[in-house]
A and B are shown apart, each in its own frame.
Chain A
Amino acid sequence: MKESEIVSVISRKLVPYILIFGLYLISYGHLSPGGGFQGGVVLASGIILLALARGTDSAQKLFPEKNLRIVEAKAFFLFLFMGIGGLVAGGYFLQNFLPLGKAGEVPSAGFIFFLNLIIGLKVSAGISLICFYLLKGE
């Protein structure tokens, strides 16, 4: 495939903003529309845009495939351990044991924020791994 100057420059300027928007969706997931899955897919679409415009090799310099695989596998166990921690501390699976802040602020919902973060990382790593494997063979 031929390299295009316009696509390369625009994607390099656009990808950081897409990644920041994905992190915003994840971190405000308990207050506004968005959450773990939506923010994770937006993060993954930023990584895929980089891989499409600059080639999978230069995208993997920034997001190495090995690290993505580790994140994708370990995030599920982290989620499970947080649930079991709630079971130990409060008596129920996924019981909240962190202090609840004032409603309406960002650190306000116990560990729902951390659960959103874990789900977002897992989804973004998984979807970008799928697209890396699909795009690599060309």
Chain B
Amino acid sequence: MIIPQIIIILLIILGILSLQFKDLLNAVISLAIFSLLSSLLFYYLHAPDVSIAEAAVGAGVATVIFIAVIGKTRRKEE
């Protein structure tokens, strides 16, 4: 099983990217991909319950809330 290791490395790369981006919209999108990949990881680790919750909350609702907040404040980080 090499797939969980690949997913974990991608998760680390996406986490560092979302910290480094100066454009906050890019950071939010990379966080959405992060939680989608981590829901895939939970599914591989035989936790489909957590996987459904992570996909719905992390990739769906949290992204909408973050983008709405970016729309109300600034988009660029100084």
Contact = CB atoms under 8 A, between A and B. Distances in A.
Contacts of B56: 38, 41-42, 45
Contact of A38 (B53, B68, B71): B53
Nearest to A127: B61
A127 B72 CA distance: 19
Contacts of A25: 52
Interface stretch (A67-75, A78-86, A107-115, A128-136): A128-136
Nearest to B49: A33
Interface string A32-43: 011101100110
B75 to A, nearest CB: 14
A: interface residue count bin = 10 to 19
A129 to B, nearest CB: 12
The main secondary structure of chain A at its interface with chain B is helix
B69 A37 contact: no
Nearest to A43: B56
Nearest to A41: B56
A108 B52 CA distance: 23
A119 interface: no
B49 A45 contact: no
Contact of B49 (A35, A41, A52, A135): A35
A33 B52 contact: yes
Contacts of B68: 131, 134-135, 138
Nearest to B60: A45
